[in-house]
Amino acid sequence: MIKAHRPNEQLATKHSVKSITLLILAVELVLVSLSLYESVFTWVMLIIGCSGVIRAIIYFQYYKHLPTIRTLNLLAVLSILGLTYSSFNESLLLIMVNLLVLACALKLMQARSQRDVYQLVSSLFFVIGCGFIFNQSIGFYVFYTFLSLTLLISLACFQAPSLSIQRQCKTVLKLSLQALPISILLFLVLPHLPPLWQVPTSKSFETGLADNITPGDIAQLSQSSDLAFRATFQGPVPEPKDRYWRAIVMEEFDGKTWRTAPLRKKIQEQLKRQNKEFSPAVTGSYTEYDIMVEPTHQNWLFALDLATPNNSKSANEIWQSSNYQLISNQTLLSKYEYSVRSYPQAMANQRFTQIDQRLNLDVPVSGNNKTQSWVAFQRKSNPSNDDFIQAVLRYFTQQPFVYTLRPKLMLSDPIDTFLFENQAGFCSHYASAFAYMLRLGNIPARVVTGYQGGELVKENNQAPYLSIYQYDAHAWVEAWTEQRGWQRFDPTALVAPERIEFGLQQAIQNEGSFLADSPFSLARMSNVAWLNNLRLFLADLDYDWSRFVLGFDDTKQKDLFKLILGKVTPDRLSLLGLGIISLVALLLCLFFLPHWLKNRMDTTQRLYFKALDVFESAGTIRPNWQAPLSFSEDIQQQYPATISNHFNQITQLYLRIQYQDTNKHKHSVLNTKRTHKLMRNHLQKLKKEIIKNNKSPL
């Protein structure tokens, strides 16, 4: 016997599917909002959590009533006021993202109809798109792709609740795989336009180095295994002792903290407005490399001395200061790639003004009396600048200085305490003390912070690259001499040469403080072979993703066109565009033509099966083994006469044409055309009645 689905059972099934769909949408909204926690206001996150809890309570039937429209309107008004208050000094994109997420949460609280579900699904796709703006790593890409597929599957289940979840998943995955090659093709050939908005800063504001340094700051930074940047070389990789990645120059010292001089910042801003850029004189051999830097929410860039942009794109986006620092014209709010050429033999002796001399000789009036007395004695004994510098450096080698991440606190007279009492510290302690001593000796000096070293990775088919992590952060000193200009000195290299040659981990292996604050970091477990291989594999995967996907800009697109076309001309670009359109059309034909040919049938069958499709969309499917008349009887039991009568007429007409004896009907062709016209009329009326029935209250 055929088990007929009663109307109330069908409505209960649809109601259950809608509840499950809304619960899934609630989970998706919570997950994607958590991934945007740095950009979504805290009180907005609380409202999102409340909307998810409401949907969970209703689904598990702890409570059966949604908030009233009046309650939601009041909450919406209060939310707009809160958003207005919270949005002062925030970017437009950040405000719009919070507004979109907030609208999704309110819509989730009051979703009742089919239209509400469609609107919520569409809005969630926009929220996921915002996630791609803020989070661009391959891990987040996989996460957002999973959320998108889940949205599509939930929408498919909501549309056809009677179909199995396995069938729905198979259909969605098949369509997604078919769309993948077309998406890749469009990614490669569509113009890469600049963003229409400025990506906002996150609540963490900055990552890594800062424009001020107090001894101990870099030691804290060295407890992080986060990636700072990667450098891909076109030729030989510099030796470890030459891997000083210059970033920030600090010229102001108050006795404890070094910072970028405010006067220097004002001068640089004025020169930028006047479009006056420093052009260093370069000589000798050079090293070419590309850098992919992680978001820092700052403007400074990293490069080996003495660096200049390597191509027109980098030259247009990078500004050079007179202290040989590379500065990006845009804040680094996402991964950024630029090309650099470094000249290690060039001397930084082009410019030394009275302002440079004043900034780099300034010392605090009081404090650190022991250091002042010691420097005065050494200066008297060594009147030559070179001799004095060597005397200061000898002090670091002759005394029992220790390189450590855990020095004792030096609250008062920190330079005296470090040089004559503790004699233990990190690179910032040594750089700060050395620069201060040179200034006391009337030698201009400044502290430079950046990174030193890097993990070398060589792949078979790719250029070698260095991965530089936050624990590679370093500080050193530059001193001005008349003969050589600004010259680098690193007292840390004298105290702990293994830090320069082999990295931080080797330098403090006896102390056991390497990444002590990150006990589960894979970098800390590099002595375990399989964990280290896993870490390197993940690093290579992230490198390829950053370089070939995130780094695929208009310049690389032009290079791709040159590789394909040889010479980029309007005629060849037109042919390429025509070929791409043809290729997309061919792919679409390969995807859909076999299905169309397989399901091609005569007009009578097509009209009858269209009627079956109408009922399938409403949740009633005819089994393959069931006869047309038997199924028509089931429809009469399940649906009102306004629906079942039209389908019964379509069934009778279908059987009449399929099984009529053409020999007995001389005018069979004419009768068939009339029958098809009647079937079409009943089919249109059937669709209208089904739509009315679906819109009726549950």
Token digits for 424? Answer: 């233990």
- Which DSSP string do the residues of 537-559 spell out, in sequence order? HHHHHHHHHIIIIIT--HHHHHH
Q: What 3-state class would DSSP assign to 450? A: strand
Neighbour count for residue 405 (Cβ, 10 Å) = 22
Using CA atoms, how far residue 376 sits from 50, 382, 492, in Å, is 68, 10, 23
Task: Tell me how many degrees the CA angle 530-532-536 measures, rounded to the nearest 5.
Answer: 115
How far apart CA 13 and CA 367 sit, in angstroms, is 81
- Which DSSP string do the residues of 383-428 spell out, in sequence order? -SHHHHHHHHHHHHHHS--EE-SSPPP--SSHHHHIIIII-EE-HH
CA nearest to 287, candidates 455, 464, 487: 464
Alpha helices (H) in 111-214, listed in sequence order: 114-134, 138-159, 165-189
How far apart CA 149 and CA 176 sit, in angstroms, is 8
State the catalytic residue, choosing from 217, 290, 472, 490: 490
Those residues whose C-beta lies under 8 Å from the C-beta of residue 261, and which sit 6 or more positions away, are 250, 251, 252, 359
How far apart CA 587 and CA 183 sit, in angstroms, is 12
State the catalytic residue, choosing from 427, 472, 634, 682: 427
Q: Are 686 and 650 in contact (CB under 8 A)?
A: yes
Between strands 227-233 and 326-328, the pairing is: unpaired
Task: Tell me how many degrees the CA angle 676-678-681 measures, rounded to the nearest 5.
Answer: 110
Which secondary structure element, helix H or strand E, spans residue 287, and what is its range?
Answer: strand 287-293
Whether 413 is catalytic: no
How far apart CA 500 and CA 454 sit, in angstroms, is 10
Q: Are 48 and 29 in contact (CB under 8 A)?
A: yes
How far apart CA 69 and CA 697 sit, in angstroms, is 18
- With tokens 């320069």, the residue in question is 500
In sequence order, what are the beta bridge partners of 278? none
How far apart CA 110 and CA 75 sit, in angstroms, is 12
Whether 427 is catalytic: yes
Whether 474 is catalytic: yes
State the catalytic residue, choosing from 474, 542, 646, 682: 474
Q: What 3-state class would DSSP assign to 579? A: helix
Residue 627 dihedral angles phi and psi, to the nearest 5°: -75, 155
Please list the active-site residues: 427, 474, 490
